[in-house]
Every structure is written in structure tokens, then in C-alpha cells.
A and B are shown apart, each in its own frame.
Chain A
Amino acid sequence: MEENELFERYKQTGDIALRNQIVEKYLYIAAVIAKKFVGRGVEYDDLYQVAALALVKGVDRFDASKGIKFSTFITPTVTGEIKNYFRDRSRLVHLPRKVAELRADIRQAAEAFMSEEGRTPTARELAARLGVSEEEVVGCAEAGVTVSLDRPAEGGEGNFYEVLPASSENEFEKFEDRDAMRDALSTLSEAERTLIHLRFSEELSQVETAKRMNVSQMYISRLERKVLQKLKERMQRGTV
């Protein structure tokens, strides 16, 4: 069946089976676009899910009589949904919750100011509107901005990288440790790795971890001790 015919029939009948047929036909677009946004701190599967949902919603909104191809119509829609997801749920640089919330408030207040006054607000005006200090507004505006290490250092010679304070720890050793840890983790079972992820990456409590893994807190406690001991021995032996 031709593209337009399919959409026309769905528009006339509202048949969900027909909609599903359209979605399945164009699901590759969701996959293609989701792949373009991998590497920004969100798993591909999550991006694919957001893109697929946007596709389903887009099928209802598409008007074949306007003469544009569905792929041309749906790409900005799916892209917009993915970008909203990044804005609302995740960032490559994780900002503290308070800063992230204030950033959202600042954006809304700035838009409201623009429509009321017809000009961009100053930091002082935004601060007054939001009941925060001017410094907080400026700080939030700068948060999450990338800075090039090659950028000229302020008030001095050389670049930014050269004036960065050196860490007191040996960075190379930290890299080696991280490598060794990665190797040691690869020797764990799937359940053990899940435990480590939940406890030390997601920072869940033992009770929360137990709920997520569908076991008792006591079991988590024992398993955690065992896994940490295992990792410690593995790294001390230097066999990794």
C-alpha cells in the first residue's frame, strides 16, 4: 500500500491495527535518529523508546494531504522529543538538582519577561523576579557551559590548561586503578555487578537495592561484603 493511502485509510477509519502497521513501517526512523544522540549520557534503549513514542504520536498528527513526506515531517518531531528528554531528564554534565531547577526557573522567567517587556532581562531583573541573588542567576547561567582548555588564560600568559591547578594525587595512578577496577569488575557475576552498580553508581541504600533485586536486605548485606572482599583481593594480587 502506498504511503499516502495508508495514512488516508487510518485517518478515515482510526483503525489501531492500521496505525500499528504504519508505526512498524517507520520504526527505523526512530532507531536512526536515536543513534544520532547516543553518547550524551542516556542509553540508546531509552532514546529509542522516546523516539518510538514520538513516532506513534506523530502518526496521528501527520496530514498526508499537505504534500510532505512522512520522514520529513516526523524527523523534527522525534528530534524535538529527544531534546526535551535531554533537557528534562538528563544532561552530559550532571548539575546539582538545585542548580538544574533554578536554571529551568530562569529560563521560564526570562521568557515571561521577554513577552511582557519586549526585551531580554538583566541578571538583576531575573534575580528580583525569582527572589534569588544576582550571583545565583549568573552562576546558573554559566553552569553546564563547556570551556576549551586551549582558551587563553584570564589576566596572564598561556592557555587555560597551563594555569589549572595540578592535582595532589598522581593522576596516572588513578587511571591505572580505574583500569584495574574495570578488569576486576569483569570477573564478577551478573548479580554481583548489578549490586555494585545499584549501591555505588546509583547510590541506593541496601534496602532499596534489595527491593530492586527482589531479595532481602540481609542477602544484599552479605553479598556486598563478599563482593568487596573479592574485588580487594583481586586488586591486591595484581593479577588483573
Chain B
Amino acid sequence: MRIPLGNEMMTTVRLATGGVCALKGLDIDASEDCKVCVTESLLLLSHAGFGQAEIGFSDEEGLRVFVGGMGQREAGKPCPEDEISAALLGALASDVCMEKKGETVISVSFRFAP
């Protein structure tokens, strides 16, 4: 799924994520946590200056989610809440991988087990 990075897309992405989580048999709490993690990843990419993002789901000991920045990157606006987003991802999901170019986050992936 490839989306423009804007607040108006968040609800759509959260709905799609919830649907995938339900198909994978995640319980409600895990599904909600997964939605939070997708949202936080998108926020990190948005703050890094990306205009678009790609979101992928794959079977990998449960559900692995990949969220990567796409398109022309503008100068990012570092946000103090980014640290909280990163820590939140670590607290909610398993196997969190955050790929960076310098100080800029360019992709995030994480896993949820059913």
C-alpha cells in the first residue's frame, strides 16, 4: 500500500491495518497496538520530510509490518515527540528495526505475534 503522508490518510491506514490484524488472528489489544505502531512509524517518516510512504504486511512468525519513506524528501522537522514514538514502538511491538540514514529515519519494521 502506497500512500501520501498526511493526517487525512491516517484513519484509512489504521482501518486497513486493523483488517489485516483481524485476518492474521491478532486479538483486539494487539490489533490496536499494531495500529498505534503503524501511526507512529508514519509520523516519524513524516517528520523526516517524506511525502509518501509504503506500508507492507507479511507473514513472519505472526505479522511483520514494514513502513518505509518514499519519494522526494524535503528538509525534515525534528520533533521532540519522535523520541517518544521510537520508545513506544519498542514497548509495543517485537523485533523493531529502524533504518536510518544519518539521523533520519527512512524505514521502520516490526512484528506482532498472534
User: When A76-B90, A150-B23 are in contact, do A32 and B29 touch as well, CB less than 8 Å?
Assistant: no
Expressed in whole angstroms, the Cα–Cα distance for A144 and B86 within the complex equals: 29
**B26, B28, B32, B83: the one within 8 Å of A72 (CB):** B83
Number of interface residues of B (CB under 8 A): 24
User: When A71-B84, A76-B90, A79-B92 are in contact, do A147 and B22 touch as well, CB less than 8 Å?
Assistant: yes
**Dominant SS among interface residues on chain B:** helix
Expressed in whole angstroms, the Cα–Cα distance for A29 and B88 within the complex equals: 11
Contact in complex: B91, A92 (CB < 8 Å): no
* Cβ of B57 to closest chain A Cβ, rounded Å: 13
Expressed in whole angstroms, the Cα–Cα distance for A71 and B40 within the complex equals: 16
* Cβ of B49 to closest chain A Cβ, rounded Å: 21
Give the chain B neighbours of A32 by CB distance below 8 A.
81, 84
| Number of A-B residue pairs at CB separation under 8 A | 61
The 8 A CB mask of A146-177 against B (1 = contact, 0 = none) is 11101100000000000000000000000000
Give the chain A neighbours of B74 by CB distance below 8 A.
none
**A37, A71, A93: the one within 8 Å of B28 (CB):** A93
* Cβ of A27 to closest chain B Cβ, rounded Å: 13
* Cβ of B47 to closest chain A Cβ, rounded Å: 14
* Cβ of A152 to closest chain B Cβ, rounded Å: 10
How big is chain A's contact interface, by range? 20 to 34
* Cβ of A153 to closest chain B Cβ, rounded Å: 14
Give the chain B neighbours of A232 by CB distance below 8 A.
none
Contact in complex: A146, B28 (CB < 8 Å): yes
**Interface membership of A22, Cβ < 8 A:** no
**Interface membership of A75, Cβ < 8 A:** yes
* Cβ of A105 to closest chain B Cβ, rounded Å: 17
Give me the 4 closest cross-chain CB pairs, A-B, nearest first: A75-B87, A76-B91, A148-B22, A79-B91
